[in-house]
């Protein structure tokens, strides 16, 4: 009986996933004829506004089931959450998600896949966002924080709430980035109503999500920002990185305009929030750090 219920549950999950994917496809196709309002004085779409992604992609961009935590330890019967997550209970659990990777799986090389698995098993120590490092591109787009696009004639700037990250876009080829950085260098061009952005010069330390999906400093990202409705953008990013992946691959997701009348970005200067985590043990009289004693 228990096995039958398990099989039925799996079938239900697959059915719901297929219905969800079909809905996404139909929604995308239904909006292909939308013509966005023009930026005053130009013939390009007006992308100004505050936008945000909805979903669980910041946990894991691949399709994934809900779980008690990303980082687990051996339990008496089944794995249980790591000591540092246990007190969060249900709020420390990972919600399931259909993923945003086209084709479902990231085409890692064999060695890079091992690194991804090691990252996920130790994400509490390895995820750079936990320590408030800038999230990079494309992760900054689908974190659970809003971002604001400020657009003018041949100028575009994005301010992100998380860590006060930002990007300034070039509309003339700037050449190679003079130095690698956490958010990289963005070179933008219009392809009809789609803003196509090539992002290069990112450091190899950023992740795609909390699940340890990673890349190298050789990564090149090609973004496509397309208005598909008055309050929706379609975001697509193609990842090129021969050092980490066997072939280029893409993600795609909708972005939603924040509609609150007084909506604005708030300060989330998280550097000060992680000082105790990163440097507290160096105090003359350190505060208790119980999980380190248990590890």
8 Å CB contact between 71 and 85: yes
Write out the two tokens for 162. Answer: 């998380």
Taking residues 129-141, what's their average pLDDT? 98
* pLDDT exceeds 90 at position 62: yes
Residue 94 near residue 209 (C-beta atoms within 8 A):
no
pLDDT at 294 over 70: no
Band the pLDDT of 291: cuts 50, 70, 90. low
Report, as an integer, the average pLDDT of 183-212: 98
140-163 pLDDT tens trace: 999 999 999 999 998 999 999 999
pLDDT tens-digit profile of 237-290?
999 999 999 999 999 999 999 999 999 999 999 999 999 999 998 999 988 876
Residue 88 contacts residue 51 (beta carbons within 8 Å): no
Residues 16-31 have a mean pLDDT of 46
Q: Indicate which CATH number applies to the domain containing 172.
A: 2.40.128.20
| Secondary structure of residue 162 in the 3-state scheme | helix
Cα–Cα distances in angstroms (integers) from residue 83 to residues 74, 187, 273, 290, in the given order: 11, 44, 20, 9
- Model pLDDT, residue 33: 86
Are 134 and 182 in contact by the 8 Å Cβ rule? The answer is yes
123 inside domain: yes
Q: If we measure between CA atoms, which residue out of 55, 157, 271 comes closest to residue 147?
A: 157
Domain hosting residue 45, numbered range: 31-55+100-279
What is the pLDDT averaged over residues 6-26? 45
105 in a structural domain: yes
For the chain, list the strands marked E by DSSP: 49-52, 72-73, 80-81, 147-152, 155-160, 166-170, 185-191, 194-200, 220-229, 232-240, 249-257
Neighbouring residues of 151: CB distance < 8 A, sequence distance ≥ 6: 39, 46, 47, 48, 157
pLDDT of 8 reads: 37
What are phi and psi for residue 86, nearest 5 degrees? -50, -45
Residue 115 domain-assigned (yes or no): yes
Is 64 contained in some domain? no
What's the CA gap between 278 and 268, in Å, rounded? 18
Is pLDDT above 50 for 134?
A: yes
pLDDT in tens, 226-236: 999 999 999 99
Main-chain dihedrals φ then ψ at residue 90, nearest 5 degrees: -65, -30
> Total structural domains in the chain?
1
How many whole angstroms separate alpha carbon 180 and alpha carbon 135? 14
Q: Which of 13-27, 96-110, 121-135, 273-287 is least confident? A: 13-27
pLDDT at 27 over 80: no
Mean of the per-residue pLDDT values of the chain: 90
- 4, part of any domain: no
Record the tokens describing residue 126, joined without a space. 């390895």
Decide: helix, strand or coil at residue 167: strand
- C-alpha distances (whole Å) from 235 to each of 22, 62, 131, 188, 228 are 18, 16, 27, 14, 10
Query: Does a structural domain hold residue 70?
Result: no
Residue 67 in any domain: the answer is no
pTM over cut 0.85: yes
DSSP helix, strand, coil percent of the chain (3-state; round to 5):
25, 25, 45
| pLDDT score of 24 more than 80 | no
Q: Token pair of 12, please?
A: 């239900």
Q: Which two tokens stand for residue 129?
A: 């966002």
Establish if 293 belongs to a structural domain: no
Helices (H), the chain: 2-30, 83-86, 110-121, 123-126, 139-142, 275-279, 290-294
């Amino acid at each position: 009986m228990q096995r039958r219920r398990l099989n039925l549950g799996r079938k239900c999950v697959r059915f719901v996933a297929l219905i969800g994917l079909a809905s996404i496809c139909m929604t995308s196709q239904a909006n292909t004829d939308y013509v966005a309002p023009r930026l005053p004085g130009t013939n390009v779409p007006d992308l100004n506004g505050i936008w945000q992604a909805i979903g669980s992609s910041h946990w894991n961009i691949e399709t994934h089931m809900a779980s008690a935590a990303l980082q687990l330890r051996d339990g008496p019967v089944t794995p249980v959450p790591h000591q540092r997550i246990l007190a969060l209970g249900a709020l420390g659990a990972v919600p399931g998600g259909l993923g945003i990777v086209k084709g479902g799986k990231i085409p890692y090389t064999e060695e890079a896949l091992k690194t991804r698995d090691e990252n996920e098993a130790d994400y509490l120590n390895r995820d750079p966002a936990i320590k408030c490092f800038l999230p990079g591109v494309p992760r900054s787009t689908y974190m659970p924080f809003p971002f604001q696009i400020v657009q003018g004639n041949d100028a575009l700037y994005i301010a992100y709430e998380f860590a006060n990250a930002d990007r300034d876009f070039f509309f003339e080829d700037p050449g190679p980035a003079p130095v690698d950085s956490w958010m990289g260098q963005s070179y933008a061009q219009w392809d009809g109503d789609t803003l196509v952005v090539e992002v290069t010069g990112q450091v190899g330390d950023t992740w795609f999500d909390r699940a340890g999906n990673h890349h190298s400093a050789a990564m090149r990202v090609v973004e496509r920002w397309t208005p598909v409705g008055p309050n929706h953008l379609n975001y697509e990013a193609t990842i090129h990185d021969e050092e980490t992946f066997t072939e280029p691959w893409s993600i795609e997701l909708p972005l939603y305009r924040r509609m609150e009348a007084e909506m604005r970005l708030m300060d989330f200067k998280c550097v000060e929030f992680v000082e105790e985590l990163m440097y507290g043990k160096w105090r003359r009289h350190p505060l208790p750090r119980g999980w380190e004693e248990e590890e």
